[in-house]
Amino acid sequence: MNPLFERTLHGAGMWSAVVSRGKRLRLTDLDGGSNVGMLLYNALERTERYNMPDTLKGQHIFYLRAPYCLHSDMGRLLASVTADSVGWHDTVCGHSDSARVLAKYGANNYQQASNDWNRNTRDCFLIELAKWGLGKKDLVPNLNLLSKVVADEEGNLSFVPENSKPGDFIELRFEIDTLVVLNTCQHPLDPDPVYRHRHVKLEVFAGEPPALDDPSLTVRPENLRAWENNQTYHTLRF
Amino acid sequence: MTESTLNPEAAIYREVIPAGDWWVHEIKKGQTLRILDLEGNQAADTLFFSAADPTERYSADRTIQEQAALYLTTGTKLMSTEGNPMLTITADTCGRHDTLGGACSRESNTMRYAHDKECMHACRDSFIRGAQEWKVELTKRDITCNINFFMNVPVSPGGGLTFADGISAPGRYVEMRAEMDVVCLISNCPQLNNPCNGWNPTPVEVLIFPS
């Protein structure tokens, strides 16, 4: 199937768009070791947003993989992971800011490096959020797709390097019309001291909402109930 | 486990928060907040905002990132969205507190348990009312991923996550020193559908000690 849209982000690339219900967004790591920071909002009700705690406690899981879902803070599904060659995507470590990037990678501003300068995830999120009328109050704990962080019994976290190999991908199907805000800055706990400019390909494909026997809805009874809340929302709204 | 050196008689403020109620109060830089689990196994859902600019608020992800660890205990710096330490945990007789589990809401209760649980009182409603009553009106947008003091949400090395029985007990407490002037918003959790309160929501007490 040909994508409806295709773009390759380079380095700390940014992208935001509204993608309607049923369509699928595929992110492919072209170089390996990439990270995609992502936030999701209901496109029409932008105070409804991706919610890390409800995603985790609703599915009894600490990370994301197919066929699990991304839950909003309103008891509904924003998206489902429909395909995934990686198997582990971090949900808890948040994003870098300018101070952390400066401390970790050293000074490399636009004046020095032109468009190869060292951007940071927080700035990238805030820039794209502003274009949709959103701001600091809407910047909540984000997803770090393609990256893996594991916890030991005491809760100490370890970053697992090269979790994603060249050609690895994750595909999300949107379950509600969704504002997607993403960027390809490094994971905040990535110990690599070099600021690498990796490539991630974005593709959007046409698609349909899931059937009731869809793996994303059957993997947990919570997901089916959240889906029923989506159905109620769509029945009343449209 | 770290016991406090502070005597409750030295507190300049004491208030018991009944189960299901909210509490909002300013804590000045240098003051210490103690949250006391009076009857045991009670979840105190807690948010912090900078008193000077509530746009700067507690960040669960930044706090986890800063210590590269999931659970909160003595020594944990509670970090803001702007990367500043808001408070530092200075004493803790419980040993572990959660910041992954978030707050219950009527909406998430329908997802987690059953559609007919929508009518049950939930933390987000308390957070909304407490936020609206602060000097500068705050809204749902200001309510983000919170701390659950006294709550036990273990993550396994394989990536599983559960709401486990509490490890708190009557009289256990956690104490934190404010590193900036902060507004503290607590919802004393009314959840009846999981073990976070031992299926029996009970009061907590807050004490504020001078710097």
- ipTM, two decimals, is 0.97
Q: Which residues of A touch B69 (CB under 8 A)?
A: 151, 154-157
To which residue do tokens 């380095």 refer?
Answer: A11
What is the pLDDT averaged over residues B105-109? Answer: 98
Nearest by CB to residue A60, choosing from B111, B142, B162, is B162
Q: Which residue of B has its CA nearest to A143?
A: B61
In which band, very low, low, confident or very high, does the pLDDT at A21 lie, cut at 50, 70 and 90? Answer: very high
- Kindly state whether A222 is in contact with chain B, defined as any CB-CB distance less than 8 angstroms: yes
Nearest by CB to residue B155, choosing from A73, A139, A155, is A155
- Kindly state whether A160 is in contact with chain B, defined as any CB-CB distance less than 8 angstroms: no
Average pLDDT over chain A, rounded to whole? Answer: 97
**Strands of A178-183's sheet, edge to edge?**
A14-19, A178-183, A36-42, A143-145, A89-90, A63-64
CB contact under 8 A, A60 and B107: no
What DSSP designation does B118 have? T
What is the pLDDT averaged over residues A210-224? Answer: 98
Q: Which tokens belong to B158?
A: 């394989």
pLDDT digits (tens, 9 = 90+) for B42-91: 999 999 999 999 999 999 999 999 999 999 999 999 999 999 999 999 99
What is the pLDDT averaged over residues A73-101? Answer: 98
What is the model's pLDDT at position B203?
97
Is the pTM here over 0.95, yes or no? Answer: yes
Q: Which residue of A has its CA nearest to B158?
A: A150
Interface test with A, best of B65, B139, B147, B156 (most A CBs within 10 A): B65
Domain segments of chain B as ranges: 19-209
- Kindly state whether A4 is in contact with chain B, defined as any CB-CB distance less than 8 angstroms: no
In which band, very low, low, confident or very high, does the pLDDT at A3 lie, cut at 50, 70 and 90? Answer: very high
- Kindly state whether A151 is in contact with chain B, defined as any CB-CB distance less than 8 angstroms: yes
In which band, very low, low, confident or very high, does the pLDDT at B167 lie, cut at 50, 70 and 90? Answer: confident
What is the pLDDT averaged over residues A141-168? Answer: 97
In chain B, which ranges are E strands? 13-17, 22-27, 32-37, 44-50, 77-79, 85-92, 147-149, 172-178, 182-188, 204-209
